[in-house]
């Protein structure tokens, strides 16, 4: 059995305590579905883990202004089952119910999913299309940032030293049409296409490149699947060649456009 490298565990019970503790070597820890794997593989070797699970204020799902705020400790399963999410963000709930497998969903948090910035994250692609924001706290105060700006590359976010993600804010737009289509043959998707439209349209191509790629247009019908398939950055790997993945992108973008009522 692979053994986790040695570390020391901190258990703050308030956000202020946690903010005093975290730095590059003291990593925030919640579900651990990505972090503990990376530690077992030797890819990450923090000497301290700061367990955020004792901070009750990060567990809430609540309506916040015109959106829904999902606390940093909320797991994929908890969010997908939460009445507010089911009622106001049914499209997101459907995405969450298909992330990874039931064990990953029951343990892993949405915030952790974004912070790990795995290029094939379903959640990142969906939240970008939905216009989601990341709520961030530091000793200096609080700020919010679009998920699109937060996820800047593979396993890389715009989070700065001393900052913690406290939650995710997803706007609720009753007239929004949303679709998420993915192609998946292993534990992570080969391609995920998220699309949302009301008075304007956002389409996000996830999983095939180093980070989710966003395309905007006035309406779904203005999106050109073939042009998008030519333009996206594609990383070939064991799940497919560049040519194959570009083909998939074209097919799935066309399907997403159709799902939103576009004509192509």
> Which residues in this chain contact other proteins in the complex, by CB under 8 A?
1-11, 20-21, 32-33, 36-37, 40, 48-49, 51, 53, 77, 98, 100-104, 106-107, 187
CA distance 127 to 92: 8
Which residue's CB is nearer to other proteins, number 131 or number 162?
A: 162
User: CA 95, 98, 100: angle at the middle one, nearest 5?
Assistant: 120
Q: Which is nearer to other proteins, 17 or 217 (CB)?
A: 17
Least distance in angstroms from the C-beta of 30 to other proteins: 10
Residue 38 CB, nearest approach to other proteins (Å): 10
**Contact between 210 and 154 (Cβ < 8 Å):** yes
Rounded Cα distance between 33 and 42, Å, is 15
Q: How far is the CB of 191 from other proteins (least distance, A)?
A: 17
**Closest CB 62 distance from other proteins, rounded Å:** 22
Choice between 64 and 107, CB closer to other proteins? 107
Structure tokens at 81: 């089952």
């Amino acid at each position: 059995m692979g053994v986790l490298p040695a570390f020391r565990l901190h258990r703050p019970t308030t956000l202020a305590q946690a903010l005093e503790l975290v730095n590059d070597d003291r990593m925030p820890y919640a579900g651990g579905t990505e972090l503990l794997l990376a530690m077992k593989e030797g890819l990450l070797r923090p000497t301290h883990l700061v367990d955020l699970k004792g901070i009750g204020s990060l567990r809430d799902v609540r309506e916040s202004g015109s959106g829904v705020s999902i606390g940093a400790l909320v797991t994929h399963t908890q969010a997908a089952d939460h009445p507010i999410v089911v009622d106001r963000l049914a499209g997101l709930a459907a995405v969450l119910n298909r992330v990874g497998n039931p064990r990953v969903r029951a343990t892993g948090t949405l915030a952790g999913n974004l912070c790990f910035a795995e290029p094939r994250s379903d959640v990142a692609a969906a939240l970008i299309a939905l216009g989601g924001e990341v709520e961030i706290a530091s000793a200096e105060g609080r700020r919010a940032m679009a998920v699109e700006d937060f996820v800047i590359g593979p396993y890389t976010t715009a989070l700065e030293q001393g900052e913690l993600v406290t939650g995710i804010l997803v706007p609720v737009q009753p007239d929004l049409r949303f679709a998420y289509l993915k192609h998946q043959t292993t534990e992570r998707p080969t391609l995920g296409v998220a699309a949302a439209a009301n008075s304007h349209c956002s389409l996000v191509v996830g999983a095939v490149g180093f980070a989710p790629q966003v395309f905007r247009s006035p309406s779904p019908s203005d999106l050109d699947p073939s042009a998008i398939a030519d333009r996206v950055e594609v990383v070939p790997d064991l799940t497919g060649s560049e040519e194959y993945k570009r083909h998939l992108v074209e097919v799935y973008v066309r399907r997403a456009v159709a799902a939103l009522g576009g004509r192509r």
